[in-house]
C-alpha cells in the first residue's frame, strides 16, 4: 500500500533550475522559507525520480520562451519572484 508524503525542495539563486522529484509528483505550492523560494510536492516516496525544470522570474524581467512555461505561483521576500515550470521537450 503506497502512502503519499509531502516533500519540500528549496531553490537556489539561479534563474533556471532542474530538480529531481518522484514521478507524477503533484506540486502543491511555492512560498518563501528562510529567504529562498521553496516548493512543496505531494509525492509517492517509492516512485522513480524524474527531472523537472523551473524558471524564477523577477517582476519586470523578460519571460524567456513563454509558450514553453506554465505559471506555478508568486512568492514575496525582499523581491517578488514568479515561478514557472518549463514544459518537457
- Is the model's pTM score more than 0.95? no
Residue 30 has a pLDDT of 96
Torsion of CA 59, 30, 49, 84, to 10 degrees: -30
Which structural domain, as residue segments, surrounds residue 77? 5-86
- What confidence score (pLDDT) does residue 83 get? 94
**The total number of structural domains that make up the chain:** 1
> Rg of the Cα trace of the chain?
13
Summarize pLDDT for 22-76 with one digit per residue, the tens: 999 999 999 999 888 999 999 999 999 999 999 999 999 999 888 899 999 999 8
User: Is residue 8 within 8 Å of residue 38, measured between CB atoms?
Assistant: yes
3-state secondary structure (DSSP) of residue 64: coil
Amino acid at each position: 500500500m503506497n502512502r503519499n508524503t509531502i516533500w519540500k525542495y528549496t531553490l537556489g539563486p539561479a534563474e533556471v533550475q532542474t530538480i529531481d522529484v518522484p514521478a507524477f509528483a503533484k506540486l502543491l505550492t511555492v512560498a518563501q522559507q528562510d529567504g529562498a523560494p521553496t516548493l512543496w510536492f505531494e509525492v509517492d516516496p517509492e516512485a522513480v525520480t524524474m527531472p523537472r525544470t523551473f524558471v524564477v522570474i523577477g517582476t519586470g524581467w523578460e519571460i524567456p520562451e513563454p509558450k514553453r512555461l506554465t505559471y506555478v505561483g508568486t512568492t514575496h521576500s525582499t523581491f517578488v519572484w514568479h515561478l514557472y515550470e518549463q514544459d518537457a521537450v
